[in-house]
Amino acid sequence: MTCTINLFKGLISTMALAVLAWPAVGQNNKPTGNAPQVEIGSVSAQPSSGNNHSTRIEWAVKAPAGVEIKGFTIELVATYEDGSTEKRQRTLGADARKAGFEVPSAHVVIKQLSNNSARTTRSNGENKDKNNKDKQTRNLGTIGPDLPAIPTIQGTPAQASGSSSTFEVKTFAFQVQTKFRTTDLARVTGKFTPAPDFATSLKLNGGGQSGAPANLRVNQLVLRKVARPEPGCQPNGCLELSFGAQPTPGTTLSESKITLILRLKDNSRLEASKSVNAATTSARFSLDSFRSTGAPSSARLPLATEDVLRLLSSADVQIENKVTIETAVAVNKSK
């Protein structure tokens, strides 16, 4: 949030501002309706002891359910009449609702004058002195070597000096960044259809898939027939799904729930689901884990790999992942 106090010839104005808030997160991870609402209660500035200005800001925060406030970063920028600035920053805990700063009340700028004029004057004086001596020697000839020297007029160099200007504070601008944690649900879907040469242990052709927060993606689906028992792939074989995710900075994934739906040529539907941890990038669905969820299937359950080859029309994948997002909310208001 940014709010500005204007100072006019020592008059410090105090104001209360109502401000809007929006989450400062990437588009893919934007939590809908889960950003805290921040409202400035008051901001003030007044001369303090010495040559400083004392400033103060207070604010209030309303956090929706599921949002955890982590802390605040407060920044003050004082802008002076000559355009120069002074910055101060503080990091505060989640319970903080006010902060204060001090900055110099004015900037003093000293401008040094050039010494060119002094050097020029001194040089002119030295030249005049030399000319006078030459002239004296020519006029007097050899009357005597012990005549008193004729005084010369030396140029007086200008003294190095400077002028100073004082620039008072013109505006104060506060920025309050609210750090918070919230959760969202990342989703991705994929559709697979049998390849023309679909056979045991061959891949299914990929259809389309939708994007989702945390960049979830479905990679491939493979039908496996096992010659000997394997974990998660016995006794009739299995479908093995590979997938991935690329969480953005500040985003953490937790357990994924994966649902695999087999649509058969007789318009029946078989479904299986399982949960895996966030580090897992593949999941096996044993063929004996599928259950009918729609119209009764003419297929005999559990399916064998030969049944899948013969009866499968398409396979749909749905992945849901709980996403924890740590980000910040920003509000802007200036005057």
Does a structural domain hold residue 157? no
pLDDT in tens, the chain (335 residues): 555 444 433 333 222 222 222 222 333 334 444 788 888 888 888 876 678 888 889 999 998 888 999 999 999 999 999 999 999 999 999 999 999 999 998 888 887 655 554 443 333 444 444 455 444 444 434 434 443 443 333 333 344 456 888 888 888 888 889 999 988 888 888 889 888 888 877 778 776 666 556 788 888 899 988 877 788 887 788 999 999 888 877 888 888 899 999 999 999 999 999 999 888 889 999 998 999 987 888 888 888 888 899 999 999 999 988 888 888 876 654 43
12 residue type, one letter: I
- Give whole-number Cα distances, 37 to 106, 190, 328, in Å: 35, 36, 11
Total domain count, the chain: 2
Does a structural domain hold residue 219? yes
* 221 in the same domain as 100: no
Enclosing domain of residue 254: 183-326
* 172 in the same domain as 250: no
Does a structural domain hold residue 25? yes
* 320 in the same domain as 271: yes
* 290 in the same domain as 190: yes
Token pair, residue 116, equals 């060119």
Does a structural domain hold residue 123? no
* 177 in the same domain as 88: yes
* 306 in the same domain as 193: yes
Does a structural domain hold residue 135? no
